Amino acid sequence: MSFRVGLGYDVHPFEENRKLILGGIEIPFEKGLKGHSDADVLLHAITDAILGAASLGDIGRHFPDTDPAFKNADSTQLLKDSYKLVQEKGFSITNIDSTVVAEKPKLSKFIPKIQSHIGETLNCDVEQISVKATTNEKMGFVGREEGIAVHAVVLLKRG
């Protein structure tokens, strides 16, 4: 059995008149995130982590933000398609851990639903998927409520 670790990071600025989609779940909030796709910053970081662990590049390589096909794309589908590429190389997920850095909104009550959605998307047990949240203690662009950042790490196994 061999193991591969992958790291993902993404950030999107807030934008008025958009839905806030995090981990495939619509979160009630006054603003959404700006992006070419649905701007699901959590799923983008997780996608980059699984692609990186399998040496498959990053999300922008597979789904360019210059391609109209991905305008308002559903990031759940992008994650699913990326995991298919990873599985074609013989890898499967051992576990995922992630941290959403957001001053607002408060995410704790949505986290079980987000973890279930990611687990279903990746055909994993919910125990393999961890999502956490923290503020940036009012510092920097997250602290000024200009956007949301996410860090994700994944362990893949093969054999």
Ligand X SMILES: C[C@@]1(CO)OP(=O)(O)OP(=O)(O)OC[C@H]1O
Ligand Y SMILES: Nc1ccn([C@@H]2O[C@H](COP(=O)(O)O)[C@@H](O)[C@H]2O)c(=O)n1
For residue 135, the partner it binds in ligand X, ligand Y, none, with Cβ less than 5 to 8 A by kind, is ligand Y
Write each residue from 3 to 22 as x if it is in contact with ligand X (CB under 6 A), else as -, in one continuous string: -------x------------
Q: How far apart are the first and last CA of the chain?
A: 5
Task: Identify the residue among 6, 35, 52, 147 touching ligand X (CB under 6 A).
Answer: 35
d(CA 89, CA 144) in angstroms, rounded, equals: 41
Beta-bridge mates of residue 16: none
Radius of gyration of the chain (CA): 15
The listed partner (ligand X, ligand Y, none) that binds 123, CB under 5 to 8 Å by sort, is none
CA–CA gap between residue 101 and residue 44 (Å, rounded): 14
**Does 52 contact ligand X by CB under 6 A?**
no
CB of 44 to ligand X, least distance (A): 4
- Amino acid, res. 32: G
Q: How many Å apart are CA 13 and CA 99, to the nearest integer?
A: 17
- Look up residue 66 and give its two tokens: 């210059």
Q: How far is the CB of 109 from ligand Y (least distance, A)?
A: 8
Is residue 107 involved in binding ligand Y (CB under 6 A)?
Answer: yes
Does residue 70 interact with ligand X by CB under 6 A? Answer: yes
> What is the smallest separation between the CB atom of 76 and ligand Y, expressed in angstroms?
21
Q: Is 14 annotated as a binding residue?
A: no
Q: Which residue has the tokens 């997920």?
A: 93
Positions in the binding site for ligand Y (CB under 6 A): 102, 106-108, 133-135
